Amino acid sequence: MWTFGFGLVRLTRQLKCGRILNDTNSQQQERTTDHGTLLLTLPGMSKYKLFLLRHGEGAWNIENRFCSWVDQKLSEDGVKEARGCGRLLKERGYRFDRVFTSLLSRSIHTAWLVLEAMGQEWVPVVKSWRLNERHYGALIGLNRAEMALNHGEAQVKVWRRSYDVTPPPIDESHPYFLEIYNDRRYSTCDVPKEDLPRSESLKEVLDRLLPYWENVVVPEIKKGETVLISAHGNSCRALLKHIEGISDADIAGVTLPTGIPILLELDEELRPVKPRQLLGDQEKIQAAIKKVEDQGKAKRTGK
Ligand SMILES: O=C(OP(=O)(O)O)[C@H](O)COP(=O)(O)O
């Protein structure tokens, strides 16, 4: 599937007269870079760069608890991860025009730390609940390893990674219900508080995320903006599923580590022209992915 688009060559011509000559292909498109270089983009060629980022490690990532809509802050290592991510992006010369985050502090702080490390603090940061982490319903606050002991690792994997299984909903007796729904930030949403989710499958995350992607994010990308989406493990997985056309079955095999930027190169229709790139030391990235996967292994916590 991938090999098709990969070999295509970006045609870059810098012309003294400022015009592209011999433009006989009606599907070719011109655009001008900051340096005045005219780029010809053919279908299947990389036209846009989009960056997705799961925030740096949060306090409940360490405790191995389903965090979801609970507003846990970044851990010390999470702050380091976010700064490291910003340094890496700066070293590679990337520049953002706009950053989108969820309403959760860990994604917002990550965005701030990345922009600070890049010296791009002025870049607008736009926030929406539609980029929030998946709502884990009644599972919020529970320890994954203990859940695996009680319900089996296979069931925990279904809850964590299946596409269309919705965990039991949160209700008012849940210890974090009031903390979540009494929070002022959820009075600012584009839906009434009563209509906010009480639990979500990955499919339901995609359902609430897609209108925001289509109506708010895509127009900025198509204007030529380089966008960073600083969000969460599952909101990024949902978006990846949509952009890359990953099947309902295969999305179960996609796990994202914290603090690692994912670069997507997209054509003019926002279709990927090459596999996603997780930027950084590949050995460390694989170890970080395994660590997230292993969170679902049965283990006594001693509490
Ligand atoms: O809050 C969460 O994700 P986040 O750390 O990306 O915000 C979820 O608890 C992630 O859990 P999962 O990796 O079991 O899907």
What torsion do the CA atoms of 142, 146, 151, 155 make, to the nearest 10 degrees?
70
Q: Which residue has the tokens 């003019």?
A: 268
Q: Kindly report, residue by residue over 112-158, the tens digit of the pLDDT.
A: 999 999 999 999 999 999 999 999 999 999 999 999 999 999 999 99
Q: What is the pLDDT of residue 299?
A: 85
Q: Kindly report, residue by residue over 252-297, the tens digit of the pLDDT.
A: 999 999 999 999 999 999 999 999 999 999 999 999 999 999 999 9
The two tokens of residue 72 are: 């846990």
DSSP letters of 172-201? TTSTTHHHHHT-GGGGSSSS-GGGS-SS--
Taking CA atoms, 88 is separated from 71, 82, 83, 85, 199, in Å, by 27, 10, 9, 5, 35
Check if the beta carbon of residue 196 is closer than 8 Å to that of residue 186: yes
Please tell me the distance between residue 125's alpha carbon and the centre of ligand 1 in angstroms: 22
Please tell me the distance between residue 126's alpha carbon and the centre of ligand 1 in angstroms: 21
Asked about 242 being catalytic, the answer comes back as no
Name the residue at shortest CA distance from atom 11 of ligand 1.
66
Count of residues for the chain?
303
Residue 234 in contact with ligand 1 by CB distance below 6 A? yes
Please tell me the distance between residue 239's alpha carbon and the centre of ligand 1 in angstroms: 15
Residue 166 in contact with ligand 1 by CB distance below 6 A? no
Q: Does residue 129 sit in helix, strand or coil?
A: helix
Q: What is the pLDDT of residue 194?
A: 96
Q: Kindly report, residue by residue over 49-84, the tens digit of the pLDDT.
A: 999 999 999 999 999 999 999 999 999 999 999 999
Q: What is the pLDDT of residue 96?
A: 98
Average pLDDT of the chain? 88
Q: What is the pLDDT of residue 43?
A: 62
Closest atom of ligand 1 to 65 CA is 9
Top-confidence residue, 199 or 9: 199
Name the burial class of residue 82, with classes exposed (0-12), middle (13-18) and buried (19+) by CB atoms within 10 angstroms of its CB. Answer: buried
The CATH H-level (homologous superfamily) assignment of domain 46-294 is Phosphoglycerate mutase-like (3.40.50.1240)
Top-confidence residue, 281 or 22: 281
Q: How far apart, in whole angstroms, are the C-alpha atoms of residue 29 and residue 205? A: 34
Top-confidence residue, 113 or 1: 113
Q: How far apart, in whole angstroms, are the C-alpha atoms of residue 122 and residue 153? A: 45
Q: What is the pLDDT of residue 19?
A: 27
Query: Residue 172's pLDDT band (boundaries 50, 70, 90)?
Result: very high
The bridge status of strand 277-278 relative to strand 98-101 is unpaired
What number of H helices and E strands is found in the chain? 11, 9
Average pLDDT over every residue of 242-249: 98
Q: What is the pLDDT of residue 2?
A: 40
Asked about 220 being catalytic, the answer comes back as no
Q: Kindly report, residue by residue over 184-217, the tens digit of the pLDDT.
A: 999 999 999 999 999 999 999 999 999 999 999 9
Query: Residue 23's pLDDT band (boundaries 50, 70, 90)?
Result: very low
Number of C-beta neighbours around residue 95 at 10 A: 12
Q: What is the pLDDT of residue 125?
A: 98
Q: Is 185 annotated as a binding residue?
A: no
Q: ipTM value, please give it.
A: 0.95
Closest atom of ligand 1 to 57 CA is 5
Name the burial class of residue 63, with classes exposed (0-12), middle (13-18) and buried (19+) by CB atoms within 10 angstroms of its CB. Answer: middle
Top-confidence residue, 176 or 1: 176
Task: Spot the catalytic one: 55, 109, 200, 232.
Answer: 55
Check if the beta carbon of residue 168 is closer than 8 Å to that of residue 85: no
Residue burial 129-160, b: 16+ Cβ < 10 Å; e: rest = bbbbbbbbbbbbbbbbbbbbbeeeeeebeebb
**Domain ranges, ordered by start, for the chain:** 46-294
Is the pLDDT at 29 greater than 70, yes or no? no
Q: What is the pLDDT of residue 263?
A: 98
Closest of 239, 184, 199, 195 to residue 216, by C-alpha: 239
Check if the beta carbon of residue 126 is closer than 8 Å to that of residue 212: no
Number of C-beta neighbours around residue 224 at 10 A: 12
Residue 69 in contact with ligand 1 by CB distance below 6 A? no
Q: What is the pLDDT of residue 16?
A: 27
Query: Residue 45's pLDDT band (boundaries 50, 70, 90)?
Result: confident
Check if the beta carbon of residue 217 is closer than 8 Å to that of residue 235: no
Is the pLDDT at 247 greater than 80, yes or no? yes
Q: Does residue 209 sit in helix, strand or coil?
A: helix
Average pLDDT over every residue of 171-185: 98
